[in-house]
Amino acid sequence: MSEKPILVLGATGTTGRRVAALLTGAGHEVRAASRAGGARFDWTDRDTWTAALDGVERVYLMAPHELPVDPEFVHAAVRGGVRRLVLLSSRGIEEMRDERLLAAERTVRESGADWTVVRADWFNQNFDEGFFRPAVLAGELVLPVGDTKQGFVDADDIAAVAAAALTEPGHEGRSYELTGPQALSFREALDVIGEVTGREIAFRGESDGTGPWDALTDTTPTDAVTRVTGREPRSFREYAERAAATGAWRR
């Protein structure tokens, strides 16, 4: 185990708090950093970077959707002794022309540190913790993705892969495309949530043919979660049943 703390950025977020919990549970010292709570870290405030990086050798690297991963932070991390970077990225960024994440991947690959890129498909938890929850509660989700099938992946599985990449050998220089065990359309995913909650949830996926979502393609499920963790990824139905049991979609 590492004798130095592992820096987890976004440690109050969907994946970050799960990564921090897994590492802590395994006996690692974790520096849980975010804009609110734990070690203070703000991508827009470079004064917070030094304290966050002090004495760490491994970093779980992610940025909020609206912000880039600043190359200067990565350079400062490596100059300060960081030897391993695990970046949370996303599936299909070439097709979607996501320059923010493409640049982040280039930055970590060229950093001089050992790196692993975790390319996750849509999070299951978008429906109960994230930006789709209000639509589920309102009974209608509007998203111009048509009937494309996506490999919805559970945040617990993403965190397990990231934690392994941070602490185990053999993940250096690898990019993992993470999906759940089955590809579903958004309509099918909402039908599952409807079945376990008794809710009527409409889906409107029409596109005008001009937006970035038109580049979205069907996902072929991968075995990356199983290869890294040794277990099957959680299915969308199992996720939905668990979330419903906790009251995630009660008003």
Q: Regarding predicted confidence, which is higher, 7 or 67?
A: 7
Domain that holds residue 13: 6-245
From its phi and psi, is residue 12 left (phi > 0), alpha (psi between -120 and 50) or beta?
alpha
Dump strand ranges (E) for 27-161: 30-34, 39-40, 58-61, 84-90, 114-120, 140-142, 149-150
Q: Is the distance from CB of 241 to CB of 173 less than 8 angstroms?
A: no
Give the percent of the chain with pLDDT over 70.
98
Q: Is residue 62 part of a domain?
A: yes
Distance CA 107, CA 72 (A): 10
Q: What is the pLDDT of residues 136-146, one digit of tens each?
A: 999 999 999 99
Residue at token pair 């979660």? 225
Please determine, for residue 38, whether its predicted confidence score (pLDDT) is greater than 70. Answer: yes
**Inside any domain, residue 11:** yes
CA distance 130 to 123: 9
- CA-CA distance, 141 to 133, in Å (whole number)? 9
Residue 9 pLDDT: 98
- The confidence score (pLDDT) of residue 251 equals 77
- Looking at the 3D structure of the chain, how many domains does it have? 1
Question: pLDDT class for 215, splitting at 50, 70, 90?
Answer: confident
Does position 209 have pLDDT exceeding 80, yes or no?
no
Identify the pLDDT of residue 22.
98
Asked if residue 153 belongs to a domain, the reply is: yes
What is the pTM for the complete model shown?
A: 0.96
Please state, in angstroms and rounded to a whole number, the distance separating the CA atoms of residues 126 and 103: 24
Walk across the sheet containing 174-178 and list its strands.
39-40, 30-34, 6-9, 58-61, 84-90, 114-120, 174-178
Q: Is residue 1 part of a domain?
A: no
Query: Is 250 part of any domain?
Result: no
Q: What CATH number is associated with residue 201? A: 3.40.50.720
How many Å is the maximal CA-CA distance in the chain? Answer: 54
> Would you say residue 146 lies in a domain?
yes
Mean pLDDT of 150-158: 98
Distance CA 113, CA 102 (A): 18
Which residues, other chains included, contact 99 with Cβ-Cβ below 8 Å and sequence gap of 6+?
Answer: none
179 close to 151: Cβ distance less than 8 angstroms: yes
Tell me if 35 is assigned to some domain: yes
